[in-house]
Amino acid sequence: MKPNHPNSPTVDQSDRTVPINLRQSGPTPVQMLIDTRVRKSPYWQLSMEAGCWRASVYNRMYHPRGYVAHEDGGAMVEYDALVNHVTLWNVAVERQIRVKGPQAEDFVNYVITRDATRIPVMHARYVILCNEEGGILNDPVLLRISEDEFWFSLSDSDLMLWLQGVNTPRRFDVDIREIDVAPVQIQGPKSVDLMADLFGPEVREVPSYGLMSGTVEGREVIVSQTGFSGEKGYEIYLHDATLHAEVLWNAILRAGERHQLQVIAPAHHRRVAAGILSWGQDMDQETLPFQTNLAYQVPRHKEADYIGKASLEAARQQIEAGTPPFALQMVGIRMGGQRIDDYAPDFWLISATHDGDAVGYVTSPWFSPELGQNIALGYVPLAMTSLETELWIHVPDRYADVIGRPVAGEVVEVPFRPSVNPNQRERLRGKGQDAAV
């Protein structure tokens, strides 16, 4: 790659106010300070007892990100447990923001792009919320508990403050607050059998994105058939979690013994293969849905006004006129090199030739055992988004075939492999409908 400024100005980020930091720092070992400025979830100590050895911060809460040590196989051992057996994840960082009141549906419909009026009670939907410019503020799972109560199960941005700000002064008759509900995920092909042991055979009838009320040793929970893996899976939302976390966690461990349950970190290697995005890594508040395979979240015929509607409709018109208001678009990438078996510390640079300037960057790379090669999500110029377009990815030396040289890649379709629980974009594609714009 030709020498340039450390933040690679050859990557066109003119459509952003704060560019993505593309400096290639590599691993920078530090000791994480555990203090009281960042919250510990009710399951934090239980994760430590299960062998968690590293963590990050998500939603201002410590987030377990690894249980199996590198020398014992690391994340790929956790991957094997997910795709062949069943796994337990501490995902209490998905903080639950409740919107409750007579105008809850109207308020939710105003802050999400999809039509909240079409969400039945005791069902959930994957949704996005945008700012006035159409940038993605959050992409939570939205649970409709009753006619007048919704829970936003958050990705990594503090949406509660935004929601409360939108409703100040009180524009809608609703109460908006975080509640003491903390989820765990049960993911993998044996998850339905484990869940049936916990809740009875009726849990087998819960549809994708369906909800069910239940109890675990007398403690109230909500169950959803959702997850962050593309595998069969569920989430269990525990009421009064600060009091009862140990009860739920230990009950799951006992029920999981006969199913080879393993406690693991959220499986980013599997979610990449499913094309599931991670807020803050694959998108942020300066990213439009049309850049990220989320165009299906912007309906053409939602009559009600919502935040960002005018900007998103204008952006769609520009795209259809051939003048999109952004420089880069997300694509799927198959790439060479050695097996990428851990999280990338940087957004790796992409060039059009092996010795050319950087023109894009990788956001989420991992090795796919099923495909037998490395895969990634990344941003490239619009002229390079066609399938089979050749790319060159500047990986760290540990993943290079030849030290100092980039590895070859090409643009491919997303998802990389079918999901057991397909999202709406996958279902629309299967029906031959337009999910792109």
Report helix, strand or coil for 136. strand
- The closest alpha carbon to 135, from 8, 29, 290, belongs to 290
Q: What length is written for the chain?
A: 437
How far apart (Å, rounded) are the C-alpha atoms in residues 14 and 65? 33
| pTM recorded for the entire structure | 0.95
For all residues of the chain together, what is the average pLDDT?
A: 94
List the single range of 22-36, 335-349, 362-376 with lowest mean pLDDT: 22-36
Q: Count other Cβ atoms within 10 Å, centred on residue 246.
A: 12
The predicted structure's pLDDT at residue 372: 93
CB 288, CB 136: distance < 8 Å: yes
How far apart (Å, rounded) are the C-alpha atoms in residues 389 and 396? 22
How far apart (Å, rounded) are the C-alpha atoms in residues 366 and 417? 14
Domains identified in the chain and CATH numbers: 1-31+327-437 (2.40.30.110), 181-259 (3.30.1360.120)
225-283 pLDDT, tens per residue?
A: 999 999 999 999 999 999 999 999 999 999 999 999 999 999 999 999 999 999 999 99
CA end-to-end span of the chain: 35
CA distances from 74 to 159, 160, 343, 363 (A): 33, 35, 11, 21
Pairing of strands 86-90, 261-263: parallel
Residue 55 has pLDDT above 50, yes or no: yes
How far apart (Å, rounded) are the C-alpha atoms in residues 45 and 27? 27
The predicted structure's pLDDT at residue 427: 60
How far apart (Å, rounded) are the C-alpha atoms in residues 189 and 203? 15
Q: Distance from CA of residue 296 to its chain's centroid? A: 16
Burial of 253 (C-beta count, 10 Å sphere; 0-12/13-18/19+): middle
136 Ramachandran zone, left/alpha/beta (phi>0; psi -120 to 50): beta
The predicted structure's pLDDT at residue 407: 98
Residue 436 has pLDDT above 90, yes or no: no
